[in-house]
């Protein structure tokens, strides 16, 4: 059953999204849940930092076989996904890099809707 949240777009938003993921403990592999926590934290933090509007919409949808689809949407102007251009060791800029490396698939829709899927 999907879990949807409309989270206040503030500094607590990433932790709120991570906490919501914990409600899926027991239905998902622990490693997958850890990866989802990291990726949701990164994407919600990006929405807080770069987005607009009062809320961040997060959808968590477990799928058959232990997979998970997550979506993060805000009201910002959006962005074009780009490869990391900062030098290694520089803080920040790793969110989409991590999404690419850890997810089985991911994408951006309408410039403000980022989704990813994790497979066991």
- Alpha-carbon distance 14 to 120, whole Å? 23
Report the domain count for the chain. 1
- Here the CATH number for the domain that contains residue 31 is 3.30.565.10
| pLDDT, position 75 | 85
Q: Which of 120, 111, 100 is nearest to 73 (CA)?
A: 111
CB 115 within 8 A of CB 69: yes
Boundaries of domain holding 24? 3-118
Q: pLDDT tens track of the chain, all 120 residues?
A: 789 999 999 999 999 999 999 999 888 999 999 999 999 999 999 899 888 899 999 999 998 889 999 999 998 776 665 555 555 666 566 788 889 999 999 998 887 889 999 999
Q: Where are the beta strands (DSSP E) in the chain?
A: 3-8, 55-63, 67-73, 105-109, 113-118
CB 48 within 8 A of CB 9: yes
């Amino acid at each position: 059953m999907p879990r949807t949240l409309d989270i206040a777009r503030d500094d607590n938003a990433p932790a709120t999204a991570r906490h919501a993921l914990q409600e899926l403990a027991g239905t998902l592999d622990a490693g997958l849940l850890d990866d989802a926590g990291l990726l949701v934290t990164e994407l919600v933090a990006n929405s807080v930092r770069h987005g607009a509007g009062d809320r961040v919409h997060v959808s968590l949808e477990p799928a058959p076989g232990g997979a998970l689809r997550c979506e993060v949407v805000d009201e910002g102007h959006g962005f074009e996904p780009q490869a990391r251009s900062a030098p290694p060791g520089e803080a920040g800029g790793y969110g989409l890099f991590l999404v690419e490396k850890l997810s089985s698939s991911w994408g951006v829709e309408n410039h403000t809707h980022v989704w990813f899927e994790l497979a066991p």
